[in-house]
Amino acid sequence: MSEQLGEMHGHHDVAPGDEEEVRIAPRLLGYLTGLGLSILLTATSFFIAGTDLVWQPSIPVALTVLAIAQMGVHLVFFLHITTGPDNTNNVLALAFGLLIVFLVIGGSLWIMSNMNRNMMPMEQIMQMQH
């Protein structure tokens, strides 16, 4: 029923890239905006890491914030992942991927922490080898 209504009003489903009327200017403007923001964030990261103008203990925090902003720029401007209703699957796939990454990293850190705590002291290991 909704397909028939869509076709009556001139709308029908097409795959991305197969649109009948492709307007290059808005897409190019979006990519150029993303490129400009990426270059700005990258240059800012290099500036912060290489200068003495920034309080030294804050550099890792600033670089982390800039890296997260860089990921956001890439997701929105290049991968076109938004929170719109037509992008629900993309957002869910991204969230699931992030969950897996955090589980792997968290599990690895937990295992290494346990191994370090339960491991025999180095002096005893060296004595056993002699």
pLDDT in 10s for each residue of the chain, 130 residues: 444 444 455 555 555 666 666 688 888 999 999 999 999 999 999 999 999 888 999 999 999 999 999 999 999 999 888 877 888 888 888 889 999 999 999 999 999 888 877 887 888 888 888 7
The answer to whether 66 and 48 are in contact (CB under 8 A) is yes
pLDDT at 32: 95
Containing structural domain, residue 95: 82-130
Residues 45 and 93 in one domain: no
What single-letter amino acid sits at 44? Answer: T
Residues 108 and 65 in one domain: no
User: What does the alpha-carbon distance between residue 3 and residue 20 come to, in Å, rounded to a whole number?
Assistant: 18
The answer to whether 87 and 81 are in contact (CB under 8 A) is yes
Residues 37 and 92 in one domain: no
Question: Tokens representing 25?
Answer: 């200017």
Q: How many CB atoms lie within 10 A of CB 30?
A: 14
The answer to whether 40 and 32 are in contact (CB under 8 A) is no
pLDDT at 20: 63
| CA 62 to centroid of chain Cα atoms | 16
pTM > 0.95: no
User: What does the alpha-carbon distance between residue 21 and residue 29 come to, in Å, rounded to a whole number?
Assistant: 17
Q: What's the domain count of the chain?
A: 2
Residues 92 and 75 in one domain: no
Per DSSP, the chain holds a count of helices (H) and strands (E) of: 5, 0
pLDDT at 2: 46
Residues 58 and 90 in one domain: no
